[in-house]
Amino acid sequence: MPPRIQTPALRQVQEVAALLHVAIGALDDLQFVLQHMHDLAVLAQDDIHSQADRADLQLEMNQLAREVDRIAHSTAINGKQPFTGAFAAGKHLQAGTLMVSFAIPAMTADALKLTGGRGGGLSIGFKAQATRAIAAIEAAMHTVRAVQAELRVVLNRLHFLVAKLRVEADDTLALKRRITNFDMAEAVTHVLRAQILRQPTAAVSAHTKLSQGLLLRFPRRKSGT
């Protein structure tokens, strides 16, 4: 199967789609971390834990908050960090004939309200704190899901446009091939026609030469001899 033709418009749409895939993938990572934080907060609500157990749970919560910040600061689109607030006011990207727009609010631990008063993660040392942490984490998960849904809608539009542009590119390539084949056929026909037209002339010339040769071989007799 021959490789698909790549037009500038198709290449541009694919590049924008790749950027959105990066953002959606990072949001998936955030959701995974948030789910782990939620599990820890639910676990911390249980009264059976010792102080040492709660200290361990808090330590892990702090580490997960730092992981949220790491994802937010390491994700880049066109050299910018969309999860630090760079796209909060909206981002517009030209994708072929389509202008796509989307907004991504800041997704740092502070912006999602996943930090405690001393710069760590949400406090879950007591049952009441764990309950408040669960509410904050669920709100953050809702924010992430909303942004994911928006980006997936845009991405689906881009996938549809990619399919449309590929069909147009393939049709254009097929038309060019048909035109090329027609031009080649016309050129071959022209050559054959020229050869056919030259054949009678060549036959007459050969016949004339043959007649002249016979006359030379059999000279006409003189009268009266």
Low-confidence ranges of the chain (pLDDT < 50): 1-3, 5, 225
pLDDT of residue 113: 94
The verdict on residue 193 lying in a domain is no
User: For residue range 88-120, what is the model confidence (pLDDT) as tens digits?
Assistant: 888 887 777 778 888 899 999 999 999 986 668
In this structure, what CATH number is given to the domain that contains residue 71? 1.20.1330.10
The verdict on residue 51 lying in a domain is yes
Q: How many domains does the chain have?
A: 1
Residue pair 68/114 in contact (Cβ under 8 Å)? The answer is: yes
The verdict on residue 177 lying in a domain is no
- Structural domain of 106: 8-172
Write the CB contacts of 77 (distance below 8 Å, at least 6 apart in sequence).
19, 22, 23, 87, 91
The verdict on residue 209 lying in a domain is no
